[in-house]
Structure 1
Amino acid sequence: MNDNQEKNKICQIYWCLFGGILGGVVLIIGVPYVWNALQQNISHSVSPSTKSSPVENSQSNNTSAEEIGKPSPKEAVPNYYSNINNRQYQAGWNQLSASFQNNTKVHPEGYTSYLNWWTTVDRVDIEEVNLIEISAETATVDVRLKYLMKTGKVAPQYLRLFLVWDGATNSWLIDRTKLLTN
């Protein structure tokens, strides 16, 4: 081999190594970015009720929604958080009772306070829904959630939702909430 052929061979080896290193860097940096973008798009397009199957336990007082001729209060939970995840904040607000909307401890500035809170949340994942009690006009549901904040923080919550039946809309409305401990 002459000097030119040897230099060409060395250059080819360097270019192959450089290309391999560059390709590796692109894979290392690009794959997680693409994966995260895909996951975000999927999470925004799928409601919590279809994204995962929350464990649905029933510990009610032997009365069922069918027996009182109404939809299950457990359905109100994924419906509400689906509106939140789809950025349908007004629809979510409408799923609160008037007394909860007017509760100045929770919403000091009404809908503005509600909107200010929910716009900090990227999405809500429902992990578990338990029907605790149901009557003709009220229901109690425990729900285990994860708030995925826009800051990247994950905030698990265990809540008791007190629901009231609204005959005008034929739906369960959230009347108040209580933070539970495990």
Structure 2
Amino acid sequence: MRIHISNVAKLPTKFGEFKIQSFQEGIKEHLVIFKEPIGDIPLIRIHSECLTGDSLGSLKCDCGEQLEYALVNIADSGGMVIYLRQEGRNIGLFNKVNAYALQDKGLDTIEANHQLGFQEDERNYEIVNYILDYFDIKKIHLLTNNPKKIESLSGIEIVKRWPIIMASNKFNEDYLKTKKELMGHMI
């Protein structure tokens, strides 16, 4: 895996002052948003891109709320968000919109992905291990509900898993139920 690493830049946000760095993996350009001091056992959020939730405030998922929760907590205590460019569980924005259309017709998120010819989750977390190694991080507090993120970390001690539970709404109740009951998310 050939990775190109950008310089570090300041990133002032409504949540606090962070630093940002990009890790380019082929055509994917992932981000690390971090608050110093990172610490010996930093708070880490591995977050996959969700344009509709992160930027547009979609109520169909809990992604944007989870990202904001992570940034608020990291701004307070230090740590990092590893922002992976894996839109729609790595099926891309075009296919995600098509999956949304199928969900509008009654399919759940997994059925919609299958209908489009994808697995329930196409994401890959290999770059996360590279990034944590680059920052010389061996132990973490992990903000996640997703068991696949936990399983993907090799050589990293998860000292504590912090659940990241957001309130449901009428637009995402079924989505959250599917994540819990069929995908094993700890919510």
TM interval, shorter chain, is: under 0.3
Per residue, is there more helix in 1 or in 2? Answer: 1
Determine which structure has more spread, i.e. the larger CA radius of gyration: 1
So what's the TM-score if we normalise by structure 2? 0.26
So what's the TM-score if we normalise by structure 1? 0.26
